[in-house]
Chains A and B, each alone.
Chain A
């Protein structure tokens, strides 16, 4: 029932007839609750380290470029036909923080907050790196990505290879999300590169390395009995 003598609505529907003054306040509160509930969030996230708008724009542009390329050429990632009925599909972009940096190698750290009690299935995972073209321009450039010493990927780039490059991280990220860890650490080594491997190592740069993943999330207990 609504204060102020509003006509009670249909009792079975629990939707009160809203007076104009209360409607706005009621609906804004309802919207907050609805968005948090549908995103399985307990409270609204507080973004303590905002990402530079340019880095966000860059990442979103590459996300869609990557998506368009994948849709055109059936390559390692078949076009994604969307999540099952009892799952929520996500695309995730995670920006790297640099842990250490030397002339030819650096450490990248990605922070995830796996939803409590949700099992995350990674369907696609790529690391995007911006590599500055080597001054010499002669020697080939070799990019190696490792995790805790285990080699994940090694790529030879043409000598004049300045620009964005992708490295697939699918098995590593699937294994990571099966664990309980929330921090993913990668080591990047670049042979034949000048200075540190990627031009975007400092956090404020629009060439910050980032990781793109596609996932489905299912809350436990939501197993649908398939007949």
Chain B
């Protein structure tokens, strides 16, 4: 999966780090100090439609071109998360108990075209 940069507007992963101090939540969230709220953005033109990640080989690109020519017009392909990882979090609840849990599928690792 590509990380977004200025040169391309193809489907990619946009990284963004949220520090819990910026939202005043560092008093009840003990660890971590923040997390990556990455998201997917960019276009999915026909020749990369439904490719799981942009790291596809040239072989896949050729296959996609062939598929694109046979593609029904108006098929809409979206840039969506294709791989996510969990976030371990340690926090106080309202009774000052400490809870530790792993939140599944919290951080977007990779994007691809649906």
Which of A's residues lie within 8 Å of B, judged by CB? Answer: 9-13, 15, 17, 23, 27-28, 30-32, 34-35, 38-39, 44-51, 56, 59-60, 88-95, 110-113
Contacts and interface: CB of A to CB of B under 8 A. Distances in A.
A59 B38 CA distance: 33
8 contacts: A45-B28, A47-B92, A47-B94, A50-B92, A91-B100, A93-B99, A95-B97, A110-B97
B76 interface: yes
A60 B90 CA distance: 10
Contacts of A111: 95, 97
A51 B97 CA distance: 9
The interface residues of chain A, by DSSP majority, are classed as: mixed
B27 A47 contact: yes
A89 B102 contact: yes
A94 B16 contact: no
B93 interface: yes
A93 B94 contact: no
A9 B43 CA distance: 8
Interface string B5-35: 0000000000010100011010111100001
Contacts of B96: 47-51, 95
Contacts of A94: 95, 97-98
B16 A13 contact: no
A34 B37 contact: yes
Contacts of A60: 90, 98
Interface residues of B, number: 36
Interface of B: 16, 18, 22-23, 25, 27-30, 35, 37, 39-41, 43-44, 76, 78-80, 89-103, 106
Contacts, number: 103
A49 to B, nearest CB: 5
A27 B37 contact: yes
A9 B41 contact: yes
Contact of B41 (A15, A90, A91): A15
A150 to B, nearest CB: 24
A61 B87 CA distance: 21
A110 B79 CA distance: 48
B41 A59 contact: no
B106 A38 contact: yes
Contacts of A46: 28, 94
Contact of A113 (B39, B78, B94): B94
Given A13-B78, A15-B40, A46-B94, 7 more contacts: A28-B23, A34-B106, A38-B103, A45-B92, A47-B94, A48-B94, A89-B102
A29 B45 CA distance: 30
A90 B40 CA distance: 30
A114 B40 CA distance: 36
Contact of A112 (B44, B79, B95): B95
A78 B110 CA distance: 35
